[in-house]
Amino acid sequence: MKTIYLDNNATTAVAPEVRDAMLPYLTDLYGNPSSMHTFGGQVADAVEAARENLANLLSASPDEILFTSCGSESDNAAIWTAIQTQPEKRHLITTRVEHPAVLNVIQHWERHGYRVTYLAVDSKGRLDMDEYAQALTDDTALASIMFANNEVGNIYPIQRMSEMAHEKGILFHTDAVQAVGKTPIDLNHLPADMLSLSGHKLHAPKGIGALYIRKGVRFRPFLQGGHQERGRRAGTENVPYVVGMGVAAQLALDHMQEERVQTAMLRDKLETGILERITDSMVNGDIENRLPNTSNISFKNVEGEAILLMLDRLGICASSGSACTSGSLEPSHVLRAMGVPFNYAHGSIRLSLSRYTTEEEVDFVVEQFPQVIETLRAISPFKD
């Protein structure tokens, strides 16, 4: 049975070009990039080439790119340094729909005495800019607002929000893990102080990420030890994965526009086909302003986990939201924050596409979905 993979917001396939670029650094070119000898030096050159590729994707400077192990580490490091470099400030701002990599960290600092403003969202997952403006104070150490939501795909007004923070002299961080490689980001014009990303969301391997730190922003290392990454992160660089992410960044830069158009076309076909064939179904989020690859759909009076299990038997991979919160039988915190009715929120699934998704796969999913929902509604304990 063929696997149809529609869970790309959880992780993506490693691109063949990425794999091929990594292999030499897993075999012959195994030197330590911090070594003085030529053998290690050529490895260091590969790391810097990858840094330049990633900087080009973001319209940043290479020396503003810090390699990390993942998006979660990048988020932790950004919040940590904002707090450590401004001990006199005791207020943080984030949203109720952030990824756990930010939300749980902010809640940790809240337990340690920090005051936190959690921005609410409306029924489409949109933020209230007036609420945000009122939250910005002289005591605010950091505003951390995601670039795009991992569950419903909403793209947030990061340009304006970062400008508003800077008008008050407040640091601004954005978790752009879901956005990098899917939508253009130009840090020459976007005044974010820090931006987090993760390689495995753009066809690089799991276990590599990066944090953009704007020149002039004070930074305290989250990991202490050696002098790697210009003294900003201890630990020998994960060279093969760094190289892989550099190639993935170059592929994203070269093909982003065509992939955005193609992926959005397939996403819309998938979504429309499902909604037309299944009653009491609805799309969650801001359909006018979202990632091109993401669709979150709710089905009344069914369980999302049961949908996923039946899809899995057909070889279709999807999810009920963030992979980092799977295992919970409760509706996601994102859908709860949006006020999605329980009998819909409980039956929500996320379908997320990639450059490798085909029209034939979309057609198969649309064909199979009605029977899945019909079967589950017939045995559902939920009734009107």
Each residue of 19-76: pLDDT tens digit?
999 999 999 999 999 888 998 889 999 999 999 999 999 999 999 999 999 999 999 9
Q: Is residue 323 pLDDT above 70, yes or no?
A: no
Q: Which of 235, 252, 269 is the last residue of a domain?
A: 252
Is 324 tagged catalytic? yes
pLDDT value for 374:
96
3-state secondary structure of 313: helix
Clarify whether residues 144 and 229 are in a common domain.
Answer: yes
Distance between CA atoms of residues 172 and 374, nearest Å: 46
pLDDT band at 322 (very low <50, low <70, confident <90, very high): very low
Exactly one of 134, 227, 324, 356 is catalytic; which is it? 324
Does 169 map to a domain?
A: yes
How far apart, in whole angstroms, are the C-alpha atoms of residue 303 and residue 310? 11
Checking if the pLDDT of 324 tops 50, the result is: no
Query: Regarding predicted confidence, which is higher, 330 or 203?
Result: 203
Q: What does the block give as tokens for 62? A: 């290479």
E strand spans, the chain: 4-5, 65-68, 91-95, 115-119, 140-144, 171-175, 194-198, 209-213, 281-284, 294-299, 316-317, 348-352
Q: How many CB atoms lie under 10 A from the CB of residue 258?
A: 10
Residues 233-245 have a mean pLDDT of 95
Task: Give the structural domain span for 330.
Answer: 4-12+256-379
Residue 321 has what pLDDT? 60
Question: What is the distance between the alpha carbons of residues 88 and 105, in angstroms, rounded to a whole number?
Answer: 19
| Confidence class for position 341, pLDDT limits 50, 70, 90 | very high
**pLDDT single digits (tens) 212-232:** 999 999 999 988 888 888 879
78 vs 74: CA distance, rounded Å: 6
Q: What is the pLDDT of residue 211?
A: 98
Amino acid at 349: I
Q: Name the 3-class secondary structure at 144.
A: strand
What are 259-297's pLDDT values in tens digits?
999 999 999 999 999 999 999 999 999 999 999 999 999
Rounded to the nearest 10 degrees, the angle between the axes of helix 359-379 and helix 304-313 is 130
Question: Where among 252, 282, 309 does a domain terminate?
Answer: 252
What's 14's DSSP letter?
A: P
> Number of C-alpha atoms within 13 angstroms, CB side, residue 347?
23
Same domain? 276 vs 161: no
Into how many domains does the chain fold? 2
Tokens of 101: 């990599």
Q: What is the CATH number of the domain that holds 313?
A: 3.90.1150.10
Q: Output the six-digit token pair for 69.
A: 């192990």
Does residue 384 sit within a domain?
Answer: no
Mean pLDDT taken over the chain: 95
Identify whether the C-beta of residue 359 lies closer than 8 Å to the C-beta of residue 266. Answer: yes
Buried b or exposed e, range 163-201, using 16+ CB within 10 angstroms: ebbeeeebbbbbbbbbbbbbbebebeebebbbbbbbbbb
- Residue 327 clears pLDDT 70, i.e. is over it: no
| Average pLDDT score over residue span 364-372 | 97
Residues in the chain, total:
384
Tokens of 314: 């057909």
pLDDT in tens, 76-105: 999 999 999 999 999 999 999 999 999 999
Backbone angles phi, psi at 93, to 5 degrees: -125, 135
Would you say residue 152 lies in a domain? yes
Return the axis-axis angle of helices 16-26 and 239-277, rounded to nearest 10°: 160
Are 163 and 201 contained in the same domain?
yes
160 lies in the same domain as 172: yes
Residue 292's pLDDT is 98
Could you say which of 252, 276, 293 is where a domain stops?
252
pLDDT at residue 136 is higher than 90: yes
The CATH number of the domain holding residue 115 is 3.40.640.10
Alpha carbons 107 and 165: distance in angstroms, whole number? 21
Cβ-contact 369, 274 below 8 angstroms: yes
- Whether 236 and 261 map to the same domain: the answer is no
